[in-house]
Amino acid sequence: MVLDEFLSPADGDVLGLERTPSERRRHKRIPLLCLGRFMRADKTEHTCKLINVSVGGAALQTEETLELGEHIIAYFDEIGRIDGPVVRFIDGGFAIQIQATQHRREKLAAQLTWLINRRALGIPEARRHDRMSTENVASSMTLSDGRQVACRMLDISISGASVATAARPPLGSEILVGRLRAKVMRHHDQGIGVQFLDIQNPSALRRHFG
């Protein structure tokens, strides 16, 4: 399955866009149920559930009441970050039109292809890079406003880390974990998950956090 598989008619009902019949439903959507969070235009964050997604749009369930046209940023472990304006309200949620570069759309299509094939083959989920335990090594974070807060490293890989902290910086914000530049990708019970903005050297990570 390749990118063209996601360019067949299927998004019109979700996105509710005013298009000609030949333009409507350009992207094939797949059902994908997973929990995530989204940030509204006012920077508040809320929980949500992804219902279905394509390279052109996504349907999300939430208890929040949004505005038509409001730009939201959402993050899901399965597919990462998606963002775009609210184009339609659905029962118990809303649909967005995903705004992305062609490169990002191709990457998303590849992720969706992998998810479909993984489920068909019964392959368990795995992280992109192996994580190593850091045994709760103490460290510090510098938030986007310059504040420094204490944290503990739960686990780490060359591309990201799970960090125990009382702070909850906004999803998508850039911070420093120790001296490493990172982006906040998710919140969890103990703290946050971050993605490093630069792929790290494994030996350097072990020296710094091991």
Residue range 184-198: mean pLDDT, rounded: 88
Residues 6+ apart with CB under 8 A from 143: 149, 167, 169, 173, 175
DSSP string across 19-45: --TTTTT-S--EEEEEEEEEE-TTS-E
pLDDT tens column, 85-122: 999 999 999 999 999 999 888 888 888 887 777 666 66
pLDDT band of 192, cuts 50, 70, 90: very high
